[in-house]
Every structure is written in C-alpha cells, then in structure tokens.
C-alpha cells in the first residue's frame, strides 16, 4: 500500500477504539468532519503529514507510527492442541481486524429504489474486532455488511448517503427495529413495529405517513437485513 492508504487504514483502526468519530476527533484536537472525510467508505481527502504528526502526538504514538503498516499482533501463537475443541476453535478463528464487505446497494428512505443484485462487493472496510464485539449486536460477524441509505424519510436518524451496517442473518421481524427490506419490488430502509394485527412501517421523518401491513399481507415484505449501526456513530 502507498503512504496515503497506510495512514488511512491506521487512522480507521485508531478511530474504531473510540465511541464515535466525534470523540476520536476531539481527542486528536481536530474536527469530526475532517476525520470523516479521511476515513469514510468513500474518502474525500488524504491524511497529510502535519495532521498525521498531530494525531500521533495526541494519541501518544511514536513519530511516524501512522506511516507504517502494523501487524495485527506480535504475540506468539497460543497452543490450542490440549484445549477443549470448542475453545480451541474459537481461539484459532479469532480475527483482530474484521473486513466488512461494502455492497453496491442503497436502501431507499423515500419512495423506494430498484433492487439490484445483492452480490456486487465494491470494496471492504476494516474494523477493529474488539470494537465490533463490544458495540454491535449481530447474528454472525460474517453476516455484517455495509450498504448506504438514500432519501430523507429516516432523517434525522439516518441521513441520505450515510453508510449503514446491516446484519443479513436477520430475515424476519422479530422485534421493533430498523430493517432493510423489499416491498413491491422496491428496496427500503424503515423502522418496523410488530403488533397482534400485523406490522407498521414507520419513517422517522414526520413528513412521511406510516404504512400498515395486515398480518395476512406480511408476505408482501421480504426482510433482507436488520440495520445495526450507521457510520456516524449511533447504534440501534
């Protein structure tokens, strides 16, 4: 990787150890918008020399740390031969950094968007595994994917263009949450609540009316995933 890419990946790893990008930016003495422009899924700027040195100093890191690739761990491997099988498997499969696939898919937060093939991976985002396990609720790490939202019906909770983490292991409405789903041939990101008579699809923007789905029409919805996080640092 070139220096810009190395700095970006290191900065993402550092940011993932904080509660939010805003907290990380404050700890580095810079604006959250600057950090977002550098580490977002579609970065708009590189991390320059002066800011890199400032962040290293603020984080108590050696000079030039951001410019170098760092192995996930320098600890010697753990011997697992004599451990119980389940524990040995868990240790052997542990990943300190998780690659989250980003799909070229957008869930409409408006009238709906045409459903593309849900297999077009365009890039991956690296997340610290400890941060993922501590902050997200998911069915399996491999089920966490990254998409984006389009439209204003979920504003101010999710704004148009926000990267959204979803769990594709959730394919039914078991609890009140925000879901990525298909209805009448269109993809949506909306809040869904269940009651005895069926489902209610809710937009967080008051300009949009709720939609009732009777219990005998629930098959009109195909739940593709549950929204578990959006990339400005608020989880659901």
Domain-embedded: residue 20: yes
Q: What token pair was written down for 174?
A: 């078991």
| Across 55-69, 92-106, 138-152, 193-207, least confident range | 92-106
* pLDDT of 75 higher than 50: no
Q: How many CB atoms lie within 10 A of CB 129?
A: 16
Are 25 and 128 contained in the same domain?
Answer: no
Rounded Cα–Cα distance for residues 236 and 224 (Å): 17
Of 61-75, 139-153, 209-223, which one has max mean pLDDT?
209-223
The per-residue pLDDT for 95 is: 58
- Residue 88 forms part of a structural domain: no
CATH code of the domain covering residue 9: 1.10.260
The predicted-structure confidence for 164-193, as pLDDT tens digits, reads as follows: 999 999 999 989 999 999 998 888 999 999
Structural domain contains residue 210: yes
**7 and 120 share a domain?**
no
147 within some domain: yes
pLDDT band at 98 (very low <50, low <70, confident <90, very high): confident
133 and 204 assigned to the same domain: yes
91 falls within a domain = no
Q: Which among 1, 4, 2 has a CA at the least distance from the CA of 49?
A: 4
Query: Over the Cα atoms of the chain, what is R_g?
Result: 20
- Tell me whether residue 84 is in a domain: no
Antiparallel, parallel or unpaired: β 198-202 and 211-214: antiparallel
22-36, 97-111, 215-229: least confidently modelled range = 97-111
Q: Tell me, yes or no, whether 175 lies in a domain.
A: yes
Assigned domain for 200 exists: yes
> 72-86, 130-144, 146-160, 184-198 — which is least confidently predicted?
72-86
Residues 142 and 38 in one domain: no
pTM listed for this prediction: 0.57
In whole angstroms, what is the distance from residue 194 CA to residue 192 CA? 7
Contacts of 43 (CB under 8 A, 6+ apart): 8, 37
If one counts the domains in the chain, the total is 2
Same domain for 127 and 204? yes
Q: Domain residues for 16?
A: 3-67
């Amino acid at each position: 990787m070139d220096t810009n890419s190395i700095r970006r990946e290191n900065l993402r790893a550092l940011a993932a150890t904080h509660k939010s990008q805003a907290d990380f930016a404050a700890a580095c003495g810079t604006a959250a918008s600057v950090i977002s422009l550098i580490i977002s899924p579609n970065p708009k700027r590189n991390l320059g020399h002066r800011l890199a040195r400032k962040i290293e100093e603020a984080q108590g890191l050696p000079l030039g740390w951001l410019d170098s690739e760092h192995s996930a761990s320098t600890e010697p491997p753990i011997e697992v031969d004599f451990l119980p099988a389940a524990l040995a498997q868990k240790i052997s499969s542990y990943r300190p950094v998780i690659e989250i696939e980003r799909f070229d898919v957008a869930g409409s937060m408006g009238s709906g968007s045409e459903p593309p093939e849900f297999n077009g991976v365009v890039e991956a985002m690296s997340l610290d595994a400890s941060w993922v396990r501590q902050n997200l609720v998911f069915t399996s790490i491999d089920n966490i994917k990254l998409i984006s939202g389009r439209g204003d019906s979920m504003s101010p909770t999710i704004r148009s263009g926000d990267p959204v983490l979803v769990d594709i292991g959730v394919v039914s409405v078991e609890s009140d949450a925000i879901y990525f789903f298909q209805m009448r041939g269109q993809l949506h990101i909306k809040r869904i609540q269940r009651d005895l008579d069926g489902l209610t699809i809710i937009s967080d923007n008051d300009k949009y009316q709720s939609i009732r789905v009777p219990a005998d029409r629930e098959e009109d919805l195909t739940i593709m995933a549950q929204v578990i996080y959006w990339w400005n640092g608020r989880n659901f």
